[in-house]
Structure 1
């Protein structure tokens, strides 16, 4: 056959490798979407089609900061259990606290407990200021978490709090002084959000590191504290890319040197403060004392009790935010509710001012049993939840029945506290600030409109082995700060409607991105 001969009709050309690869690239995502929507083990769980098909809508909601509000709308439409991503469900039903966060018996033959472990996408330590060392918040392994918690737990007991009260009192009194100065010096309104943040960070700075951040002393943010707030949003961006490993790796490579230097500086600040505290020769009843005791004791029962230095650094890197910002958020939200409801504010002022003749009489033991103060703070925690949604846990390998629905092994479950706390099916007049719903008679009087409120769904400090370790300290700060401010000052809502804070419009990046709460403050006229 010469070069001019026509090709043999019977010979068929094979498709090139490039065409095959192109077909696979196009077909794979289509087939993946079809599988997610129609054949995935979660395909029977109700939810929007786009969320079931792809993780993208979920991530976009997170990055915009509207996940809490978006999930609330999804629950209003689809019910208490919603499929929000191919392998994740969102639950807003009170039974979730017991079903997911408490230990459960699965295998009766071997009597073996299975836990819903934290989802590694969110909880696996990332390359941050403290490296990849797990701390008490991020530890996924239950035994690792139990060891860390055992070491630090003595610092957060009710007994320890009595010895620590003087630290809190000092900064709360300084807060009162600063607010009084600001109220006298200015005819304008005051943003109380910043003052709450100054106070809670200064308290933990002293309790944790043996030295305040001096936010109250200087009436401004410590540069390190300001950087901490900015880092929370960055963490959401970095963690969200973990759903696509290639994108995650690319993002980490693209982090500017200046950002990396900020992380390094944060690590150096932690290490410097921790080591200065370790060199104190005077014993202090603070958060650090149990760590020093554990390191002196060394080993117990052939198990390492003491934390390593890397673990201590990681612990305080997390606690400085968790123990401060959440309490400040609750205080901001509660005061905002009080100024919007003058009658409630007046009842609270009557209780506090009628109980104490002098500010020096206000202490934790005296405040612990003040009925209306506690009702106000619980209602503030309900409506202004400092942790609006609990980051995902995963079902054990064999799957589990959660809130009456079977979920296969490895399913991620996020818990929507914000949605539960505002669900009209669980709470009478759910969106209103009504402290009387927490009155004792509301629990026993069947004629009370609040009798059927689902108080079992209200868990601001979580439950189970991962319940908030610092809740006693948080309550102490809530009591002292609220009581002393109400005893000393009259607060009024901003006269400018544009300045009035509507809590529901705030964004959330794991924690609430709290906006200013502008109030008019008048020192109380004492006889």
Structure 2
């Protein structure tokens, strides 16, 4: 077997890797001795594969591959006669997404089930639904801005927490029919805290799966964590049941379940499926959005030129804060470019969306693959063959019609950028249904934040390593992001 792969990945490909190296998984970009970007080492023996970077004569020993080429999205995740299935049973290096006897959700549904569920859930994320849900969103952003206005008088604020409070309250209200109360209490609800605690256990599950001793997962999980998980599940199911009962009473409330229940005819979703899907919607629609907002604020404040241009656009586009609506912020061209570039540099879900190659295997990007594969966003988004100055935060790459000559970021330099590599909401028939809501929420929050406050990174968060030093276990493990906020005191 012959491979032209970096020694770091070779070392990470063998069994006797130090245990701590599996537990402490940092985001990193690995380069070979010629300086070409190779990929992102995230979990043990995952290899990032891209044409021209790796030569593989025999890859039967590999459990998981990742690709940095744009064409891999269509091959792996696009519409196919035989679907590359999700990794539901924990093959490769991911824990199982489905417990024995557990009802399916829209995420864990098999192909024939997924089409049925998606048809029902899609109504909750339509343009009409988004317009009707704006009141929910604006109300929680009002609370966020008011809380920041008061608290910022005392000390710099940790925006990681505030963004999590906001997104969990928004999605909790839309999914369960009641918020978690995080914004008002300035603390994490027990249910939310349990979600974060559960995610931290994933690397340990990875290790036990790799060692083929998954039966130890339950035995090694502390009873308090098992009890917390069971309590959270029971609480979630009870909330959904209350919301369903409210719908039967004839409420006019417009949230996710109102649309799902209205369209949930005989061939729709069962109550257990609705319960599982509501939980998934909260987890998928909260932490990732908060992560994106945190990363974007950090990136714009670390790049004063970008921040100043964004401030000028936002504050010159509106005469009054009431004008800042979901529809209005869609017209902010530089804001849209900032959002797109932030998704490229700091995708909220930095790893792969694993799929299992069907049957005996098939050719992907010209090479025979027998195992599980995925498109690794972080590696693809930072590949110099995909982007000019890939590690720099340059929103101008998304403004092809604007020639911006400052600081050597002229737009013509980006003509060869492969923008279709970046797909933070995945691709194909199982892509994220909440894409439009996510864009609306994050643009609205960022715009109102820039409208109301002058912002500056606190020295504790302005050392240039806030992203680089983060660990990942499906999601980013973020340190506090302390920001000095100055209310600009509009009358």
| TM interval, short-chain normalised | 0.7 to 0.9
Work out the CA distance in 1 between the residues paired with 2:4 and 2:118: 36
Shift of 1:224: 1.5
Shift of 1:430: 1.1
- Conserved in 1, the CA contact under 8 Å of 2:124 and 2:260? no
Work out the CA distance in 1 between the residues paired with 2:29 and 2:270: 40
Counting only pairs closer than 5 Å after superposition, residues 226-305 of structure 1 correspond to structure 2 as 226-245=193-212, 247-280=213-246, 281=249, 282-295=251-264, 297-298=265-266, 304-305=267-268
Shift of 1:52: 4.9
Q: Which has the larger radius of gyration?
A: 1
Counting only pairs closer than 5 Å after superposition, residues 493-504 of structure 1 correspond to structure 2 as 493-496=457-460, 501-504=465-468
**Cα shift readout 1:122-173 (whole Å, capped 9, x = no counterpart):** 3743449xx633322223x211222221221110112210111110000011
- Conserved in 2, the CA contact under 8 Å of 1:94 and 1:454? yes
Work out the CA distance in 1 between the residues paired with 2:419 and 2:233: 41
Counting only pairs closer than 5 Å after superposition, residues 266-345 of structure 1 correspond to structure 2 as 266-280=232-246, 281=249, 282-295=251-264, 297-298=265-266, 304-305=267-268, 307-345=269-307
2:116 is aligned with 1:116: no
2:174 is aligned with 1:207: yes
Shift of 1:406: 2.0
Shift of 1:50: 4.7
Please give the TM-score of this superposition, normalised by the length of structure 2.
0.86
2:471 is aligned with 1:507: yes
* Number of the residue aligned with 1:86: 62
Question: Alpha carbons of 1:268 and 1:68: their partners in 2 closer, same or farther (altered >3 Å)?
Answer: farther
* Number of the residue aligned with 2:35: none
Shift of 1:284: 1.8
Q: Which has the higher helix share?
A: 1
2:403 is aligned with 1:435: no
2:108 is aligned with 1:138: yes
2:97 is aligned with 1:125: yes
SS at match of 1:248: coil
Question: Alpha carbons of 1:68 and 1:252: their partners in 2 closer, same or farther (altered >3 Å)?
Answer: farther
* Number of the residue aligned with 2:453: 489
* Number of the residue aligned with 2:328: 366
Question: RMSD of the alignment, in Å?
Answer: 2.8
Work out the CA distance in 2 between the residues paired with 1:380 and 1:446: 19
- Conserved in 2, the CA contact under 8 Å of 1:394 and 1:412? yes
Work out the CA distance in 2 between the residues paired with 1:80 and 1:91: 11
Please give the TM-score of this superposition, normalised by the length of structure 1.
0.81
Shift of 1:362: 0.4
User: 5+ residue gaps in structure 1?
Assistant: 1-37, 105-112, 299-303
**Cα shift readout 1:193-216 (whole Å, capped 9, x = no counterpart):** 111111111101111111111111
Aligned match for 1:63, one of 9, 20, 23? 23
Question: Alpha carbons of 1:325 and 1:400: their partners in 2 closer, same or farther (altered >3 Å)?
Answer: same
Shift of 1:423: 1.4
Shift of 1:64: 2.0
Question: Number of matched residues?
Answer: 461
Counting only pairs closer than 5 Å after superposition, residues 313-462 of structure 1 correspond to structure 2 as 313-408=275-370, 411-441=371-401, 448-462=412-426
